[in-house]
Amino acid sequence: MSPEKLIYMANQIGKFFAHEGEAKAVPAIADHLAKFWDPRMRRAILAHLDAGGAGLDPLVLAAVKSLPRPEEKKAS
């Protein structure tokens, strides 16, 4: 899946939760990405974040930053 498509999808999720305010929206977006996105999609959006995260809305950017990294899960 292209980074552009992932950015679009993530920003759509962000728009859905934005009305809740930052304190609730950021963890809700992160939770949605963790529960419903395929691990390959999560790895790709994290790679996009590592490349600067261009195009991600601020709430989505904060949510993606909070996602656990695959290597962090293995360490636990």
Written in H, E and C, the secondary structure of 23-76 is HHHHHHHHHHHHHHCCHHHHHHHHHHHHCCCCCCCHHHHHHHHHCCCHHHHHHC
Q: What are the tens digits of pLDDT across the range 10-34?
A: 999 999 999 999 999 999 999 999 9
Contact 38, 4 (CB under 8 A): no
Q: Which 8-state DSSP code applies to residue 4?
A: H
pTM, 2 dp: 0.90
